[in-house]
Amino acid sequence: MESHKEVQHYDPIEKKLLHSQIHKAQKFIDNNCLEKLGDRVYICKPLPGYNKTKYTIEKKDEIWICNCQGFKAHCNCSHVQAILIKEGGLHQ
Ligand SMILES: [Zn+2]
């Protein structure tokens, strides 16, 4: 019998990442985790039962910069996404 070779499925990591980020970002918004400290500073409080770290996100030269691991690795993270959604800069 001919074995059916599975068609390789292209699921770019970036796209996956973005999807999970937006999903998580929405959770931060739904749980009111974002707290605006100033025009250019937000803190993101931990999601109950999800993590325990509070992150600070600052706007520098029109770019939001977060101090979490994800941002360091990808220059993008769910916290930044959450702010973008909240501020209306990212339309879904
Ligand atoms: Zn972050």
Bridging pattern class, strands 55-60 and 34-38: unpaired
Residue 12 pLDDT class (50, 70, 90 cuts): confident
- For ligand 1, a single-atom ion, which residues have Cβ within 5 Å? 66, 68, 71, 77, 79
Tokens of 45: 């409080």
Phi-psi group of 49: left, alpha or beta (phi > 0 → left; psi -120 to 50 → alpha; rest → beta): left
The stretch 73-90 carries a mean pLDDT of 88
Rounded distance from Cα 49 to ligand 1 centre (Å): 17
Those residues whose C-beta lies under 8 Å from the C-beta of residue 18, and which sit 6 or more positions away, are: 76
Structure pTM? 0.77
- The Cα–Cα gap between 17 and 75 comes to 12
- Per-residue pLDDT of 39-78, as tens digits, reads 999 999 998 887 789 999 999 999 999 999 999 998 999 9
